[in-house]
């Protein structure tokens, strides 16, 4: 039977994902900041409006990049973000199948609930039987410690 992805493996994958996303969103923010600042400066827009617009665009872009990165990677054939791939974790539904984009999106947004509860939703991975955080329970997902998602597709691998 393929083991579930435990708390510390998932923390390490998260750290790697944060580094990847920090680089991507920094580049996006730099492009947006530079791209918006020049036209606004030429129009005589004051610094506060320009700063607010650039900051809003950067935050919105960052949110969009984070959501799409997580949801698209986890519903892809890889079934994992780059951090999870590096560690050897895959995300499945409760039956060991690949996530749909809708379920991956639900899992992403359910992480906000895990975070709002002072992180207890994430800590649940350490003590639940199938190593599920609150966001996994809400979305009906499992995380396995394997590099090959095909190992958990059969019912024997999931429920044995």
Task: Tell whether the model's pLDDT for residue 36 goes beyond 70.
Answer: no
Task: Give 61's contacts (C-beta < 8 A, 6+ positions apart).
Answer: 25, 28, 29, 32
Give residue 55's pLDDT: 72
Q: Which of the four pLDDT bands, split at 50, 70 and 90, describes residue 144?
A: very high
Residue 54 token pair: 């650039």
Average pLDDT over all residues of the chain: 87
What is the arithmetic mean of pLDDT over 129-147? 97
Give the pTM. 0.84
Q: Which of the four pLDDT bands, split at 50, 70 and 90, describes residue 156?
A: very low
Q: Which of the four pLDDT bands, split at 50, 70 and 90, describes residue 5?
A: very high
């Amino acid at each position: 039977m393929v083991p579930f992805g435990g708390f510390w493996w998932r923390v390490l994958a998260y750290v790697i994902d944060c580094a990847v996303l920090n680089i991507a969103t920094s580049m996006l923010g730099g492009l947006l900041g530079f791209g918006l600042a020049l036209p606004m400066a030429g129009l005589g827009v004051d610094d506060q409006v320009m700063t607010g617009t650039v900051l809003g665009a950067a935050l919105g872009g960052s949110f969009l990049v984070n959501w799409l990165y997580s949801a698209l990677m986890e519903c892809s054939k890889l079934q994992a973000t780059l951090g999870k791939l590096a560690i050897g974790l895959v995300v499945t539904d409760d039956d060991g199948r690949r996530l749909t984009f809708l379920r991956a999106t639900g899992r992403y947004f359910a992480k906000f609930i895990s975070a709002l509860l002072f992180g207890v939703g994430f800590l649940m991975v350490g003590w639940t039987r199938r190593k599920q955080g609150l966001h996994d329970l809400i979305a009906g997902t499992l995380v396995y410690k394997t590099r090959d998602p095909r190992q958990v597709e059969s019912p024997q691998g999931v429920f044995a």
